[in-house]
Structure 1
Amino acid sequence: MSPPVQFLAITFLVDNTIEWMTKLPPGFTHEMRHHLTRKAAELDPITGVPILPLGDFCCAAHGFSALIETNETTDTPESNRFTLFDTGPDSNTLSRNLSGLGTPLGPIERVVVSHWHADHTGGLLSFLDRRSRELGVKTIVDVHPNRPTARGIAPPPSKKVICQLPRDPSFEEIEAHGGTVEKHRDGHAVAGGTVWVSGEIPRVTPFETGLIGGVRFTPNEDGTAGSWSEELDIMDERYAAVDVLGKGLVIFSACSHAGIVNVVKDAVERFSRPIYMIVGGLHLAGPELADRIKPTVNFLSESLIPAPTYVLPMHCSGFAVKVALEAALGEGCVPAGAGHRVTITGIPDDEATLRPPSIRSR
């Protein structure tokens, strides 16, 4: 990455939840405020009061998509860079929420696909179609090259494949629908150097043992039908990070199949910057993952020094870890959801007196 940015804004376009009324920290705004202040609200002809456009409010869906807006300065908002991180699960949700929020498509120069799972790629082709149709431009699509033929779910103990996930778009389909495919196995900077997209995430934490029940279909080399095999480690998964001046790293981990502790350890080792905010799915929902919650929360709240200022457990995190994080971090655990916006403005590092991060052994 280039030097830390002074401006970062995040708009959550797709998430499993919506939340209109819970108190949010400074810099976070509810969707209602957006509709009443950032858009021209219709006035009722009788009362003269703005009408709340409920039909434009975001819908929730099982998936994730966040629009990341970055700038190295606060003086030139017209030069903000826009990166779309994932596209949700289907062709409708992202498009609907973009329209409802009035989000312009033109500035979105790149889509980063965190990993090949349909709840993160399902809206990609429709987004590319719409941007190509309305603007006549191509969109860079940043992907890991190891795209699976198919992925499925085979829960233990039987390990029978009970379903296949919808197929991810192929590289050829992405190109045909107005995308320009960029394949990246290694970490790299995008958006003028303001956003870091990781490479493969090292697995170093003993209790983070991957996606339970994950399987991958591999065709035979001769073109005949293939077979399913266990795939605990989703090695094409990548996180994104933005370094904010005087605050530290904001980490985007869409699903954390690698484990959020592994993600944080990699970011700390790579950048030697404190973690200001963790955003996205922690993949700790369900009874089979309950034993990972306590060590995860302990790491984030006690072993990582300084602890993150904010953790936004979204998408596949699950209710139990939200409760545990709130108990450990208080208002530092933020109930973010679709339609929310976060604005972070940097401050000089010397005024912030940032400490280098460290990880306490337990």
Structure 2
Amino acid sequence: MSPINNSGLRAGLVAVNRLTITFLVDNSVEWFAKLPPGFKLELPQHLSDARTVIDPLTGVPVINLEDFCCGAHGFSALIETQRDDDEEKYLTLFDTGPDSKSIVRNVMAMQVPVDQIGRVVLSHWHSDHSGGMLSFLRLRSPEAPKCVVDLHPDRPTARGIAIPPTYETIIGRLPADPTFELITGAGGVVEKHAEGHTVAGATIYVSGEIPRVTSFEQGLPGAVRFVEEDGKPGHWTSEPHVMDERYVAVDVIGKGIIIFSACSHAGIVNVVKDVVQRFSRPIYMIIGGLHLGSADLAPRIGPTVDFLANQLRPGPTYILPMHCSGFLCKVALESALGEGCVPAGVGVRVEVHGDRGLEGRLSRPIFT
């Protein structure tokens, strides 16, 4: 495991004292769940806003559903990091959802200051994560500072979906991811990164290739890629491991690492193992899609939950299974972790504050 040096840097990552997460795209809209401290549903955020209209007839706030978030099959999270209260805030957008409409509606619903977002990080080249990128960039004012778009350099021509049991029948291709040229044309500054690196004043770590070391996590069996070679007709080829996938990590003082894993094609156990090996810090929160929703991946739910609940020590304080995690996965996590499994969704905001008094008491993580 990586040592922790005296400067507080771990793989170049600087711990923060304040982290705010706003979920801008997710499959679920959650209005009624009981959430832990620091979590806030969308409805009370609207009701507490000074701009909420008061109904002149009844004298109470109007719940204007036109101004609320919508669900969509995809993921996007706004990550706001701050080292200390008197230091600069960094706004980073992790993924942009599946289409040109949901990200725009939800950014407006949550009153996101889009011109202050300095970087978009794309987890991987699948359109349910890249589809809103161009419309997001076009929302920004022409006078705003340029927004960096952080991408893996290996952009596929096309990706598609094959179905079990043989995975030989391709039922369709995903919409095209935006090209580097289109991103530049929409006002983004393209940065290509295949290796791990820090961004946002070194308060966010963006991974490189995720090591595949867990026996039962064998990628996405139905993933296929269209390949073009000079002088030859294009053809589909199996691509279960989606090697361009990247996770994001933030270290909060006195709490530990918050992991953002948008789809977990690498397997969330592989992601967690890489984080533990790289940072030697406890895992405080795991956020995002665990990609265990389809019937052919259901056998992975048991060993995944067993690792997270029983083999990782100390275990995560919270897991937020979102996007492609699936109903059975959520049920299994709730059964194993109780209130540690949080039913988050689009419009939910999370605030995590550091605790310097607890920093020296954090246990070094291990897994069996």
Task: Tell me, yes or no, if structure 1 residue 173 matches structure 2 residue 173.
Answer: no
2:161 corresponds to which of 141, 149, 153: 153
Q: Deviations over 1:110-141 (max 9, x none)?
A: 000000000000000111112154x4542100
* Residue matched to 1:199: 208
Q: Aligned residue for 1:18?
A: 29
Quote the RMSD (CA, aligned, Å).
Answer: 1.2
For residue 162 of structure 1, give the secondary structure of its aligned residue in structure 2.
strand
Distance 1:33 1:352 in 2: 36
Are 2:297 and 1:289 equivalent residues in the alignment?
A: yes
- Separation in 2, partners of 1:99, 1:39: 16
SS of the aligned residue for 2:71 comes to coil
Q: Report if aligned partners of 1:132, 1:138 keep a CA contact under 8 Å in 2.
A: no
Give the residue type in structure 2 aligned to 1:104: P
Cα distance in 1 between the residues matched to 2:102 and 2:206: 25
Q: Is 1:132–1:178's contact at 8 Å kept on the other side of the alignment? A: no
Q: Does 1:346 align with 2:357?
A: no
Distance across 1 between alignment mates of 2:225 and 2:37:
43
Structure 1 position 350, deviation (Å): 4.3
Counterparts in 2 of 1:192 and 1:140: CA distance versus 1, 3 Å: same
Q: Which residue pairs with 1:228 in the alignment?
A: 236
Match of 1:126 in 2: 135
User: What SS is found at the alignment partner of 1:161?
Assistant: strand
Please state whether the residue corresponding to 1:106 is helix, strand or coil: helix
Paired with 1:273 and 1:237, the residues of 2 have a C-alpha distance of 22
Identify which range, 321-330 or 50-59, moves more after superposition: 50-59
Please name the residue that 1:258 is paired with. Answer: 266
Identical residues among aligned pairs (%) = 60
The count of residues paired between Structure 1 and Structure 2 equals 356
CA distance in 1, matches of 2:21, 2:78: 6
Aligned residue identity for 2:344:
A
Q: Which residue of 2 aligns with 1:240?
A: 248
What is the CA-CA distance between 1:74 and the residue it aligns to?
2.5
CA apart distance, 1:274: 0.3
Residue 86 (structure 1) aligned with residue 95 (structure 2): yes
Query: One-letter code of the match for 2:41?
Result: H
Partners of 2:245 and 2:22 lie apart in 1 by 21
C-alpha distance in structure 2 between counterparts of 1:197 and 1:37, whole Å: 34
Report what 1:46 is aligned to: 57
CA displacement, residues 254-302 of structure 1 (integer Å, 9 cap, x when unaligned): 0000000000000000000000000000000011011100000000000
State the TM-score, normalized to the length of structure 2.
0.94
Give the conservation status (yes or no) of the 8 Å contact 2:115–2:141.
no
In the TM superposition, what is the alpha-carbon distance from 1:327 to its structure 2 partner?
0.5
Change (3 A) 1:211 1:248: same
Match of residue 70 from structure 2 = 59
Cα distance between partner residues in 1 of 2:194 and 2:126: 17
When normalised by structure 1's length, the TM-score is 0.96
Alignment deviations for residues 303-354 of structure 1 (CA, whole Å, 9 cap, x no partner): 0000000000000000001000001000000000000000000001546611
Note if contact 1:35-1:53 (Cα within 8 Å) is conserved in structure 2: no
Q: 1:28 and 2:39 equivalent?
A: yes
CA distance in structure 1 between the partners assigned to 2:105 and 2:13 by the alignment? 34
Give ranges in structure 2 of 5+ residues lacking alignment: 1-11
Per-residue deviation at 1:102?
A: 1.2
